[in-house]
Amino acid sequence: MRVYPLVFRAAFSWMDAERAHGIGAGLIGLAHRVGAGRVLRRIAAPDPALRTTVMGLDFPSPFGLAAGFDKHGRHTVALTDLGFGHIEVGTITGTAQPGNPRPRLFRLIADRAVINRMGFNNDGAAALAPRLAAARAALSRDHGAPRPIIGVNIGKTKAVPLEDAVADYELSARTLAPHADYLVVNVSSPNTPGLRQLQEIDALAPLLRAVRAAATAAGRPDVPLLVKIAPDLADEDVDAVAALALELDLDGIIATNTTLRRDGLATDAATVAGAGAGGLSGAPLADRSLAVLHRLKTAVGDRLALVSVGGVTTADDVAERLVAGADLVQGYTAFLYEGPFWARRINRGLARRLGAVRR
């Protein structure tokens, strides 16, 4: 019998979602600091059969934690104790910002979903850089090879006008690329005004070129560069982004971010309306996220890495994405519902499936 669902119902389901998130993350960090991390790493370590090389990087598992959980880079090392093959930190902006007013995070428990309008609350690139450097060193010390990978997700500072967005992303890239295993340009969050306009090809191409140049100037011409796109893009726009990624020789695409859609939910309409604006993530996103993955795979084949995220809960979900062409798979929302041993269960399920295939 799993204990966490009972803990969630008794301790967290009634609590403000952001407060519950903070408590949960804090407990994971505390466990690491008091020395439990060594035990957790032993029981949650991915099976060596799950090791995979993507974008020239060696991942202990193809399953990782999506951006959004570790916004401040304070729990990166502790989260890897739980078995994630990579942690994507952020989204991080050029300068620190508090994000949108609270409340800004809402659970739709009947749908195993979340609505958020966090607004890229984070401590800013300058504060994150030394944390990331320290985390990479700690992971090499604690895990050996292959160690869990650290991705760095960057976005636009809210106060920066859209016409100055390129310079803002350049600042983040120069500051953070030296400490990233891979770098992600986030142009798909619905919670920063105007941000999704940067997904338009005429805006996206110069932005990605500028980020690549900034990373090179910072001494990391080799850092893999990816772009993260929204599920709400029309199919022809997904195709256009894929073509651009190939033209610019990007290393990968992450699909998908949260959605603005609210159709097909089990939660009553009044509760959904009461949550207000923001991006929806979790189980309701699964079908569209998978459809975008199929479309991207058709467009790019094996020429760049595809990272699938959106609606992933079980090892079967992760396996389905890998079979559909994903090189890596990320989760986030289900972590809030499944608890701290979620990645361990995913990895064990994947290892069992791999064993069955090999037999």
Under a CB-based contact definition with an 8 Å cutoff, are residues 77 and 297 in contact? no
- Residue ranges of the annotated binding site are 67-71, 91, 116-120, 153, 186, 191, 228, 256-258, 282, 311, 332-333
Please count the CA atoms within 13 angstroms of the CA of 17 that sit on its side-chain side: 20
- Residue ranges of the annotated binding site for substrate are 71, 116-120, 186, 191, 257-258
| Structure token pair of residue 124 | 């800013």
DSSP annotation of 66 reads: P
Cα–Cα distances (Å) from 39 to 32, 78, 147, in that order, read 9, 12, 16
- Among residues 160, 162, 87, 161, the alpha carbon closest in space to that of 128 is found at 87
What does the alpha-carbon distance between residue 50 and residue 58 come to, in Å, rounded to a whole number?
11
Query: What is the pLDDT at residue 357?
Result: 40
Tell me the pLDDT band of 1, cut-offs 50, 70 and 90. Answer: low
Residues 26-31: what's their mean pLDDT? Answer: 92
For strand 52-54 and strand 57-59, is the pairing parallel, antiparallel, or unpaired?
antiparallel
Q: Which CATH superfamily is domain 4-358 in?
A: Aldolase class I (3.20.20.70)
DSSP 26-42: HHHHHHHHTTTHHHHHH
Strand partners, 182: 151
CB atoms within 10 A of CB 34: 8
Cα–Cα distances (Å) from 65 to 149, 249, 262, 273, in that order, read 10, 25, 24, 28
Query: What is the pLDDT at residue 198?
Result: 76
Domain residue ranges in the chain: 4-358
Which helix (DSSP H) or strand (DSSP E) does residue 61 occupy?
Answer: none
Look up 189 and say whether it is catalytic: yes
Tell me the pLDDT band of 188, cut-offs 50, 70 and 90. Answer: confident
- Among residues 82, 78, 77, the alpha carbon closest in space to that of 45 is found at 82
What does the alpha-carbon distance between residue 43 and residue 236 come to, in Å, rounded to a whole number?
45
Residue percentage of the chain with pLDDT more than 70: 98
- Residue ranges of the annotated binding site for FMN are 67-71, 91, 153, 186, 228, 256, 282, 311, 332-333
Tell me the pLDDT band of 356, cut-offs 50, 70 and 90. Answer: very low
Buried b (16+ CB within 10 A) or exposed e, 1-30: eeeeeeebeeebeeeebbebbeebbeebbe
pLDDT at 343 over 60: yes
pLDDT tens profile 277-315: 999 999 999 999 999 999 999 999 999 999 999 999 999
Q: Measured in whole angstroms, how far is the alpha carbon of residue 305 from the centre of its chain? A: 15
Q: Which residue has the higher pLDDT, 311 or 2?
A: 311
CB atoms within 10 A of CB 353: 16
Tell me the pLDDT band of 36, cut-offs 50, 70 and 90. Answer: confident
What does the alpha-carbon distance between residue 275 and residue 18 come to, in Å, rounded to a whole number?
13
Catalytically annotated residue among 61, 172, 188, 189: 189
Buried b (16+ CB within 10 A) or exposed e, 144-170: eebbbbbbbbbbbbbebeeeebbebbb
Mean pLDDT over all residues of the chain?
Answer: 93
Under a CB-based contact definition with an 8 Å cutoff, are residues 106 and 115 in contact? yes
pLDDT tens profile 84-125: 999 999 899 999 999 999 999 999 999 999 999 999 999 999
Query: What is the pLDDT at residue 359?
Result: 30
Read off the pTM. 0.94
Say how many residues make up the chain: 359
